[in-house]
Amino acid sequence: MPDLLAQALALPGLGWLVMIAFTAGLVRGFVGFGTALIFLPVAAQIIDPVWAVTVLIVMDLAGPAPAIPRALKDGHPKDLMRLVAGTALALPLGLIALFKVDPAVFKLVVSVVSLAMLAALMTGFRYRGFVTPRIVWATGGAAGLLGGAAGIPGPPVILLYMASSHPARVIRANSTAYLFFFDVMMLVGFLFAGRLAGMPLILGLLLMLPNLVGNLSGGAMFHPRYESLYRNVAYVIIAASSLSGLYAALS
């Protein structure tokens, strides 16, 4: 363990990982999503893509944890349970794809998905039908496949909630709680696959603190009156991270 810690501290690009972990936590704190969209495109340029997902799920478990009691209180528990159950059923298939995918393909997919999600958010694209329990189950399944394969479960869930009649407080709470439970399921999946060890585990633990500080800072900054401002800031950061990842994948 001491040798692994020394290697992690000497890792080229560790400063960038710390910076992007804090930034991703900050955005997650004030808009309720965005950690993977911001962290993965940059982290996958510095470390192995599967390592990047491992680091993400380890560090991201602690960051939003202080907000979970409030999120469970403010959220919509039936929707949350349906999303989590749908994800649990589909996640193993996504993980199989993740462990087999070529690193170059992973980098490209993550950046393209992040940019597509950003475009959908900025243009107001949304599901136009009724948000029924069946649709929520299907959304959880889609999030499980995408989250397992690329480490980004948020887009299907966020696009669903853009069509929801729930108030912003409920949507933010459910998004925060869902992503937390997704990380727990990913940790279990990685543990059973024998991937939750070594350098990526140490890096995830090291990045917990900056990510937690970012989450707490973002949560303290949140005020419903400035929600549009927070979203615009998040869009700019997601765009910068995704474009840098896309450039690296195509170079």
Q: Which residues are CB-neighbours of 251 under 8 A, at least 6 positions away?
A: none
d(CA 234, CA 181): 22
User: pLDDT above 90 covers what percent of the chain?
Assistant: 32
d(CA 217, CA 228): 18
For residues 17 and 71, the model is more confident at 17
Predicted pLDDT at 1 = 58
Q: Which of 14, 41, 29 is nearest to 180 (CA)?
A: 29
d(CA 151, CA 35): 10
Q: Which residues are CB-neighbours of 76 under 8 A, at least 6 positions away?
A: 166, 170, 173, 174
CA Rg, the chain, in Å?
Answer: 17
The residues spanned by each domain of the chain are: 2-250
pLDDT per residue over 95-108, tens digit each?
999 998 888 888 88
HEC sequence for the chain: CHHHHHHHHCCCCHHHHHHHHHHHHHHHHHHCCCHHHHHHHHHHHHCCHHHHHHHHHHHHHHCCHHHHHHHHHHCCHHHHHHHHHHHHHHHHHHHHHHHHCCHHHHHHHHHHHHHHHHHHHHHCCCCCCCCCHHHHHHHHHHHHHHHHHHCCCHHHHHHHHHCCCCCHHHHHHHHHHHHHHHHHHHHHHHHHCCCCCHHHHHHHHHHHHHHHHHHHHHHHHCCHHHHHHHHHHHHHHHHHHHHHHHHHHHC
d(CA 248, CA 107): 8
pLDDT class of 127 with cuts at 50, 70, 90: low
User: pLDDT above 70 covers what percent of the chain?
Assistant: 95
Is pLDDT of 126 > 70?
A: no
Residue type, 181: F
Predicted pLDDT at 234 = 82
Interval 125-151 mean pLDDT: 85
Q: Which residues are CB-neighbours of 13 under 8 A, at least 6 positions away?
A: 46, 47
pLDDT per residue over 11-60, tens digit each?
999 999 999 999 999 988 877 778 888 999 999 999 998 899 999 999 98
* Residue burial 69-87, b: 16+ Cβ < 10 Å; e: rest: eebeebbbeebbebbbebb
Is pLDDT of 92 > 90?
A: yes
Q: What is the chain's mean pLDDT, rounded?
A: 86
d(CA 104, CA 91): 22
pLDDT class of 208 with cuts at 50, 70, 90: very high
